[in-house]
């Protein structure tokens, strides 16, 4: 199956955007999961709802909110552009941000479920033996949560690969800059005589998603075996 240069470009950009989205959102995903499981504070239910809101909102709405917040004239984006010359809008960085926001709830949910299964008595025992909070987290909590972290990371990556609505609303559909795999497919479907190219990208999208899910399952099993589960 031969792909044209623009098609390869779209596939490569999707992989790049998804990788950056997952890489930068993972620390926040672990932090939010830990806060939701281990902390009690007023407004916790509201925070939980806000984190999972992108799951139920139309992606176009998420993209529009990102445009209002991080566009060049947005609430935050204006200062980023005026002070640092940095802009998310109409760039691959904005596509990564949109993908990260959409996939973030899946990542947090998987890590949270794994963290809830960590026996709190192990952490308490370590604390009573003199281990500090951070040492307990990095030597006990984090390793025991590893299968969930792996699953959440791979699922977020797979979801990022398929992100379309928020991306095209926030950063448009610019060839070589923001035209990811779903955007390229949309363009080809709208182009007369490009059905073959659209079908090729469809096959690649299915293959990437399936490989991500299989990898997620394999890595989760590997993580459980490493932990003796």
Please name the residue that has the structure tokens 């949910």.
109
The answer to whether residue 197 is domain-embedded is: yes
CATH number, domain at 193? 1.10.3720.10
pTM above 0.85, yes or no: yes
**Least confident segment among 10-24, 65-79, 178-192, 210-224:** 210-224
The answer to whether residue 151 is domain-embedded is: no
The answer to whether residue 192 is domain-embedded is: yes
The answer to whether residue 193 is domain-embedded is: yes
Counting the structural domains of the chain, the total is 1
**Least confident segment among 28-37, 63-72, 102-111, 186-195:** 186-195
Give the model's pLDDT for residue 176. 85
**For the residues 79-92, what does the mean pLDDT come to?**
87
**Nearest one of 159, 165, 204 to 181, comparing CA atoms:** 204
- Give yes or no for residue 54 having a pLDDT over 80: yes
Q: Which domain holds residue 20?
A: 5-34+58-103+157-226
Q: How confident is the model at residue 27 (pLDDT cuts 50, 70, 90)?
A: very high
The answer to whether residue 162 is domain-embedded is: yes
The answer to whether residue 25 is domain-embedded is: yes
The answer to whether residue 214 is domain-embedded is: yes
The rounded mean pLDDT for the chain is 87
The answer to whether residue 48 is domain-embedded is: no
């Amino acid at each position: 199956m031969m792909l044209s240069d623009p098609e390869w470009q779209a596939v490569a950009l999707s992989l790049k955007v998804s990788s950056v989205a997952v890489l930068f959102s993972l620390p926040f995903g672990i932090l939010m999961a830990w806060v939701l499981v281990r902390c009690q504070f007023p407004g916790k239910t509201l925070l939980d709802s806000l984190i999972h809101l992108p799951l139920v909102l139309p992606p176009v709405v998420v993209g529009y909110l990102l445009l209002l917040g991080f566009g060049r004239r947005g609430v935050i984006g204006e200062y980023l552009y005026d002070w640092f010359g940095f802009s998310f809008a109409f760039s691959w960085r904005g596509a990564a941000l949109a993908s990260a926001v959409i996939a973030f709830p899946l990542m947090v949910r998987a890590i949270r479920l794994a963290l809830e299964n960590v026996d709190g008595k192990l952490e308490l025992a370590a604390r009573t033996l003199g281990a500090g909070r951070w040492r307990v987290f990095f030597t006990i909590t984090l390793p025991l949560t590893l299968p969930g972290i792996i699953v959440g990371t791979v699922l977020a990556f797979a979801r990022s690969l398929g992100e379309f609505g928020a991306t095209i609303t926030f950063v448009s559909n610019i060839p070589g800059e923001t035209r990811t795999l779903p955007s390229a497919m949309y363009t080809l479907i709208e182009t007369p005589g490009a059905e073959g190219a659209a079908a090729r990208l469809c096959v690649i999208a299915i293959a990437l998603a399936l490989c991500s899910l299989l990898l997620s399952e394999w890595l989760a099993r590997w993580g459980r075996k490493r932990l003796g589960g």
